[in-house]
Amino acid sequence: MNPTLAALLAVFSTWNPPATAHRVGQPGRRRVIGLAVAAAIGVVLALGGDRLVDLLGVSAPTFRTAAGVVVAATGVVDLVRRPGSPADDGQGQDIGRLADGVVAGLGPGPVFAATAAGIDVGWLIAGLGVLGAAAVTAWWLTRRRAAGTVTGWLIRSIGGVAVLAGVVMIIDGVSTV
C-alpha cells in the first residue's frame, strides 16, 4: 500500500469523525474550539515525530510497528463498542465543554497515528490528514442527527479501516526492521 495513503487512512480512521462527533455531544462553539485545539496538537505531534523517536531512542520502523498496534486496537474498539451517550447537553461549565472537544479528538489512536504519519510521510501531509479529519468532524456535528443506525454502521466501518491501516503499519514496520 502507498505509504502516504496508509498514513492518511490511519490518521483519519483513528480520529473517526462520526465517533468523535458523538463523543463531543451537542455542537457548541467551545466544543468546536476544543476540536481545533486537538487538531493543532495533532499537527504539532506530526511535526515533532522525528524528534520524538530520537528522544525515545527507537527507530522509525519500531515506532511505526507500535503505532500500528495502537491504531488497530483503536479500530477494534470502534468496531465492537456501541456508541454510548454523548457528552452532556451543554449545561456544563465552559472549560468542560472546551475539554470535551480536546479529549474527544486526542485519544491514543490519533496521537500515535499523527506522530507515525509525520515520521513516515512528513508533517505537512500528516497535518493535512489531521485537519481534514477535524473538519469532517465539525461538519458531522451539524449533520449527525439524521439516522442513529447509519451513524453506528459508519463508525464501525471506519473502525474496520483503522484495523486494516494498523495491520498495514505493523507489517511495514516489522518488514523494515
Query: Mean pLDDT of successive 10-residue segments in the chain (177 residues)?
Result: 87 90 74 84 91 93 95 93 57 56 80 93 91 88 66 90 95 89
Q: Give the pLDDT of residue 92.
A: 47
Q: The C-alpha cell of 122 is what? A: 512528513
Question: Given this model, what pLDDT does residue 98 score?
Answer: 64
d(CA 101, CA 80): 23
Q: 59, 10, 86: which is closest to 173 by C-alpha? A: 59
DSSP H or E stretch at residue 93: none
Give residue 100's pLDDT: 65
